Amino acid sequence: MKSSERKKDLRAKPPADLQKELMELLSAQFKLRMQKATQQLTNTSQIRRTRRDIARVRTMLAQADAKSANTGAKA
């Protein structure tokens, strides 16, 4: 999946789903780090991809928080 498609998918999700996705990605990142440490990881690019997905989800969560804070302040 391309990153632009991934961004569109993330924008469509509510914040609760983004939090769940973030927890899953953090767990996956931990597992990948453990595999790397024990020399079991064959595709090291998965670490980079997972790290960037985590950053995307955190960015979407921050944007959603900022958006809700701005609408709450104006109301």
Q: What is the pTM of this model?
A: 0.85
In this structure, what token pair is assigned to residue 57? 């989800």
Give the pLDDT score at 6: 81
**Nearest-angstrom CA–CA distance, 48 and 3:** 13
Give the pLDDT score at 53: 95
**Nearest-angstrom CA–CA distance, 73 and 40:** 50
14-70: CATH topology: Helix Hairpins (1.10.287)
The H-or-E segment that residue 60 falls in is helix 45-74
pLDDT tens for the chain, residues 1 to 75: 677 888 888 888 899 999 999 999 999 999 999 999 999 999 999 999 999 999 999 999 999 889 888 887 665
